[in-house]
A and B are shown apart, each in its own frame.
Chain A
Amino acid sequence: MSGNFIYFDNINTTFPDEEVVACMEQALHSKLGNPSAHIHSAGIDAARLLDNSRAKVAALIGAQPDSVIFTSGATEANNLAISGFMGANPDYQLAVLSIEHFSIINQARKSKLGGRNVLFIDVDRTGLANLEQLAEFVRSGPTLVSIAYANPEIGTVQQVEQICRICRDQGATYHCDATVAASTHAIDVGKLGIDLLTLSGHNIYGPTGIGALFIEKGVNMRSLFEGGNQEHGIRPGTENIVGAVGFGKACEMAVANRMKWSREISVMGCRLWQGLSENVPFIHLTGHPEKRLAGHVSFWVEHIEGESILLLLNMKGFMAASGSACSSNLKGEDETDLVASHVLTAVGVPADICAGSLTLTLGKYNTIEEVESVINIMPGLVEKLLAMSPSYSDYMRKKE
């Protein structure tokens, strides 16, 4: 990253902690063998590092180390959770939240096309799952339920305890994608009763290219591809040891610090929303007002378009994200690749209004001074775009 940028896009990726980088560098220099080479010391050293990292990841969620499977990231873990489970359990139906990540939604669509009974669970205007609809569906037959702990785009944190209770009462299997919640929420899979849980390295100040799926003992799973016996044969292929070392270190640091991070980030997030809502006209929060991720501030502004604000912010040195169609797939082949966010449309924001959405997400490296600087700069950027907006002119004329 060049220049003095202020990073408010922690929901999409967090920068690895220096201690994580140091551990990975050391591992890279350690002449590690293949962890499946159980006889020679280079292999044994690698296997030991891998086991050690696995234990740290498991400790993050209160799990036994042998129930954690390393994957290439959250997308693969989500694919393994849904397709690996549904493939091994042909009598199951599937219920997924309508605002899940595409790695879940697209599998559910595929399952439906393949003839499986699939429910896309509705959300209310704050993004909370309709639990009555879920309860009714799980009563109708054996079900895999997939509802993320929190939504990255609107920040809403689900009522996970209640979801677990519904699933437990009806004998349903529950998969929870905890990718964006694990750095600030203490999640105990045993206490909650979660059967499958997704984690990602780069969302918890660890590296990209590594994630994990927790699989409760007794849950019947099938591998997504053929290969060797690595990861109990559930995820064949030589493990990403260096990635696992970094991920393990990141999890260890999160266990020690996540409550502190959560507190500090939460204070900054509250100030950010307070400052923006008081100073930016036509601003509306998306997601739940209270049940939301620490430091997650998502909103839309009437009469202006999200990509334009993102570009202006970027020119001033602030990095953020938008759910606007116009910024959805800039590398696509044609305009049909631009679609309004399925999350925002599911919570009832019309497609043309989705255009003005913006998501600012704080992390442990942010400071209150950075928050104050974006609060100061945002009204001017919005004013600039309002002055260009024909819908704003029409609004003002009507008002007069």
Chain B
Amino acid sequence: MENKSFPYSELVMEHFSNPRNMGEIENASAVGNAGNPNCGDLMRLYLKIEDGIIIDAKFKTFGCGAAIASSSMLTEMLKGKRLEDALKISNQAVADALGGLPPVKIHCSVMAEEALKAAMEDYEKRKNS
């Protein structure tokens, strides 16, 4: 039985303890930053994009368990995705993939979505420059 007294799902704790794709990508195709001024959280997403496909995604995050788990899950969801499909990933999709987040921590998944959008904007900007 799930322990309701503990705020995080097993999957959140698993991603928090063993974050996937943590680190930076040298010569990344795009970098996106997002933060939450309420609690000082900060996420930085690095993407390597080739032929319209995200071939690698990494992150660095200053934040709580939910913020780190959301970052880790987002990078897992992004790898191998076409850009137009990646853009469809919502904060809710990240939260759902983690088996849910406590209501007070939904903003951590929002931060992940915002970092993704920021990275996409950065990619477009680099392409056009």
Contact = CB atoms under 8 A, between A and B. Distances in A.
A131 interface: no
B65 A332 contact: no
Interface in A323-348: 324-327, 329-340
A390 B61 contact: yes
Interface stretch (A144-152, A226-234, A283-291, A305-313): A305-313
Contacts of A324: 39, 64
Interface string B5-37: 001000001001101001010000000010011
Query: What interface size band does chain A fall in?
Result: 35 or more
A335 B42 contact: no
A308 B104 contact: no
Contact of B39 (A334, A340, A389, A390): A340
A305 B106 contact: no
Interface stretch (A22-30, A35-43, A96-104, A351-359): A351-359
Interface string A76-103: 0000000000000000000000000000
Contact of A305 (B7, B38, B40, B104): B40
B63 interface: yes
A303 interface: yes
Nearest to B24: A393
Contact of B40 (A327, A333, A334, A353): A353
B60 A393 contact: yes
A337 B104 contact: yes
A310 to B, nearest CB: 9
Nearest to A322: B64
Contacts, number: 97
A335 B107 contact: yes
Contacts of A339: 38
Interface string B79-123: 000000000000000000000001111110000000000000000
B102 A325 contact: no
A353 B24 CA distance: 24
Given A324-B39, A325-B38, A334 B16 contact: no
A332 B62 contact: no
B65 A311 contact: yes
Contact of B64 (A308, A389, A393): A308
A262 B39 CA distance: 35
Given A308-B68, A390-B60, A393-B60, A335 B106 contact: yes
A332 to B, nearest CB: 4
Contacts of B24: 393
Most chain B CB neighbours (cut-off 10 Å) among A326, A339, A387: A326
Contact of B63 (A326, A333, A335, A337): A326
Contacts of B16: 308, 311
B41 interface: yes
B104 A338 contact: yes
**Dominant SS at the B interface?**
mixed
Most chain B CB neighbours (cut-off 10 Å) among A305, A337, A353, A389: A305
Contacts of A332: 103-104
B63 A308 contact: yes
B92 to A, nearest CB: 15
Nearest to A327: B64
B7 A330 contact: yes
A339 B40 CA distance: 11
Interface in B29-83: 33, 36-44, 60-68
Interface in A355-400: 355, 387-393
Most chain B CB neighbours (cut-off 10 Å) among A307, A312, A334: A307
Contacts of B67: 305, 326
Given A305-B62, A308-B68, A324-B64, A390 B42 contact: yes
Contacts of B104: 329-335, 337-338
A312 B107 CA distance: 21
A332 B101 CA distance: 12
Given A325-B38, A335-B107, A340-B39, A389 B22 contact: no
27 contacts: A307-B64, A307-B65, A308-B63, A311-B13, A311-B16, A325-B40, A326-B39, A326-B64, A330-B7, A330-B105, A332-B103, A332-B104, A333-B104, A335-B38, A335-B104, A335-B107, A337-B104, A338-B104, A340-B39, A352-B40, A355-B41, A388-B19, A388-B60, A389-B61, A390-B62, A391-B62, A392-B62
Ranked 4 nearest A-B pairs via Cβ: A352-B40, A326-B64, A307-B64, A390-B60
Given A305-B41, A312-B17, A326-B39, 4 more contacts: A311-B13, A330-B7, A351-B38, A390-B42
